[in-house]
Chains A and B, each alone.
Chain A
Amino acid sequence: AQSVAQPEDQVNVAEGNPLTVKCTYSVSGNPYLFWYVQYPNRGLQFLLKYITGDNLVKGSYGFEAEFNKSQTSFHLKKPSALVSDSALYFCAFLYGNKLVFGAGTILRVKS
């Protein structure tokens, strides 16, 4: 079955350090991949997507993600974490007209 996996339930990072939130995919063909963020008691917000083209995708709030076909990964990165980045992050892929989400990774940034 096609899926995305987020291997870490939680990632802890100090403010100012680089952060990575991991996502691997098992999707046939050319995958359409997404990252969304959810702040407490809020709906999800779109961060970025990979459809085709450049493997490095830049998104909102200084986030970027690198599509790596050989490693079937689409990790979310940011060079310098902020406390305000603390949230729940979801990787997703497009299946037909529908998004299929991973289980999510909690990011905690400590000052």
Chain B
Amino acid sequence: QLQLQQSGPGLVEPSQTLSLTCAISGDSVSSDSDAWNWIRHSPSRGLEWLGRTYYRSKWYNEYAVSVKGRITINPDTSKNQFYLHLNSVTPEDTAVYYCARGRDTPRDRWFDPWGQGTLVTVSS
């Protein structure tokens, strides 16, 4: 059964970099049917898709415009996990961050499962 386990700090200082890890069990980060996503949830913004990484003969990354230029999502095939790095954070980046497997075929597209979530607070 596919499971995603998140890890990373819950408190980040303003202007610093938010870094989270999502460890995958039961699937491969190099799957050619899936994409590996980061999403955040806050009362003010609801659910916000941040970006994804996926492998289709080579690695691709796609990001939301709202965080483009500050975000990097990259895979680690040796550890079967992927990462979120969001730099120059402000209090506006305070949210619960989730990783999620995105099934991504012409027939099936959805997010399942999700990681357990990490509350990240941006504060000094």
Do they bind each other? no
- Please list the residues of chain B having a beta carbon within 8 angstroms of any beta carbon in chain A: none
- Please list the residues of chain A having a beta carbon within 8 angstroms of any beta carbon in chain B: none
